[in-house]
Amino acid sequence: LVRFVVFASGSGSNAEALYQAVQQGELRGQLVGIVSDKPDAYIFTRAKDWGIPLIAVSPKQYETKDAYETAVLSILEELQAEWLVLAGYMRLIGPTLLAEFDGRIVNIHPSLLPAFPGKDAVGQAFAHGVHVTGVTVHYVDAGMDTGPIIAQQAVNVQATREDTEACIHTVEHELYKTALDQLWNEER
């Protein structure tokens, strides 16, 4: 089984969906740890009973991005991580992590890329008045949400931002596990 680490900066609902999917045999992979750049993120509360290492690495404690990523890298080596799964990790992956995990880093983004990359994709969708937005699972490269697309699903924009976000989250939780299971088990 693929050994994967989830990177999360926030609530961690996608991390939880992946954890549950592994538990239920719907995602054939092994979740070996959670890494967060935010020591007070809700993901740590959510995941406290999952029985896997939960690791906070605060970029502020390092002089450079390279030093931060080198510290993360040594944790990933300890965990024997093979794939990095970004789930609300609000930071660009730099050359240090890319060099080690090239082609084995995936991200989920709340829009139909290449529309609305970066922060607050749902807010961007509202600002543009689109009627349809969606979710994209993609490989991570050096750009901001620019890597090759793995899976996409459309979501209708709802009357409110809250309702739209709820629909997007529901789609995300299903799409991420399905896309990863397919990616990691293609030859079977």
Q: Which of 87, 1, 90 has its CA nearest to residue 47?
A: 87
Tell me the closest approach of the beta carbon of residue 14 to ligand GAR, in angstroms: 3
Between CA 173 and CA 128 the distance in angstroms is 25
Tell me the closest approach of the beta carbon of residue 85 to ligand GAR, in angstroms: 11
Whole-angstrom CA distances from 34 to 21, 72, 97 are: 15, 11, 16
Tell me the closest approach of the beta carbon of residue 117 to ligand GAR, in angstroms: 7
Active site residue: 109, 128, 138, 173, which one? 109
Confirm whether residue 52 is marked as ligand binding. no
If the CB atoms of residues 78 and 123 are measured against ligand GAR, the closer one turns out to be: 123
Residue nearest to ligand GAR as judged by C-beta position: 88
Confirm whether residue 65 is marked as ligand binding. yes
If the CB atoms of residues 9 and 30 are measured against ligand GAR, the closer one turns out to be: 9
Residues engaged in binding ligand GAR (CB under 6 A): 8, 10-14, 87-88, 108-110, 121, 168, 172
Q: Is the peptide bond before 114 cis (omega within 30 degrees of 0)?
A: yes
For the question of residue 128 being annotated catalytic, the response is no
Whole-angstrom CA distances from 112 to 16, 51, 80, 129 are: 23, 34, 32, 14
Eight-class DSSP state of 126: H
Residues designated as active site: 109
